[in-house]
Amino acid sequence: MKFKKMILLSTLAVPVAFGVYYFIPEKALPKGSEVDRLVVYKSKRKMLAYSGENLLKTYTISLGKNPVGHKQFEGDKKTPEGIYTINDRNPNSAYHKNLGVSYPNEGDREFAEKQGKSPGGLIKIHGLRNDRGYIGKFHRWKDWTAGCIAVTDKEIDELYKAVKHNAVIEILP
């Protein structure tokens, strides 16, 4: 009898836990925020948004499918490491909206060329693929991009408004 109750409770608890995770809103960026620096900790799957020295918000992120190490070549599915800038924004992305990362830099290009390969490019901070926004926070459970940094659609909406052009993004292992 106790075993049946445990099974029943487990069967009910799992969907409730998923629902709470999915529907409970997270803290938003303070209204009127201006983000001038982003710091990504790849191993922790975290991205911190700063205004000056003030930490405004921490985001949980997904990365490229092969996240360990610095991006070296097109198609390696790695997220770059180093200091770059946010140099572009696209409100009509295939991934809701996106902010462009200035990868590759001169050193990235030189390294790839010495190997006879392309360094790749088009590294973005982006939301979920259009028509897949319903996945929401569940996207964080897996690294799934081709080398980009992924957040929820709601999160890219707030970052798109708040991140200054040429803001620094430091991507750490």
Q: Which amino acid is at 44?
A: K
Residue 90 burial (10 A CB sphere; 0-12, 13-18, 19+):
middle
Catalytic residue, candidates 96, 139, 148, 165: 148
Q: Are 123 and 101 in contact (CB under 8 A)?
A: yes
Q: How far apart are CA 75 and CA 69, in angstroms?
A: 14
Catalytic residue, candidates 70, 96, 126, 139: 126
Does the active-site annotation cover 165? no
Does the active-site annotation cover 70? no
* Residue (of 56, 78, 82, 60) closest to 68 by Cα position: 78
pLDDT at 30: 92
Distances (CA, A) of 41 to 79, 114, 141, 173: 11, 28, 16, 6
Tally Cβ neighbours within 10 Å of residue 45.
16
Going along the chain from its start, the domains and CATH numbers come out as: 35-172 (2.40.440.10)
* 70 token code pair: 């610095």
Q: How far apart are CA 2 and CA 123, in angstroms?
A: 53
Q: State what percent of residues in the chain have pLDDT above 70.
A: 98
Q: Provide the whole-model pTM.
A: 0.90
Q: How confident is the model at residue 94 (pLDDT cuts 50, 70, 90)?
A: very high
Q: State what percent of residues in the chain have pLDDT above 90.
A: 84
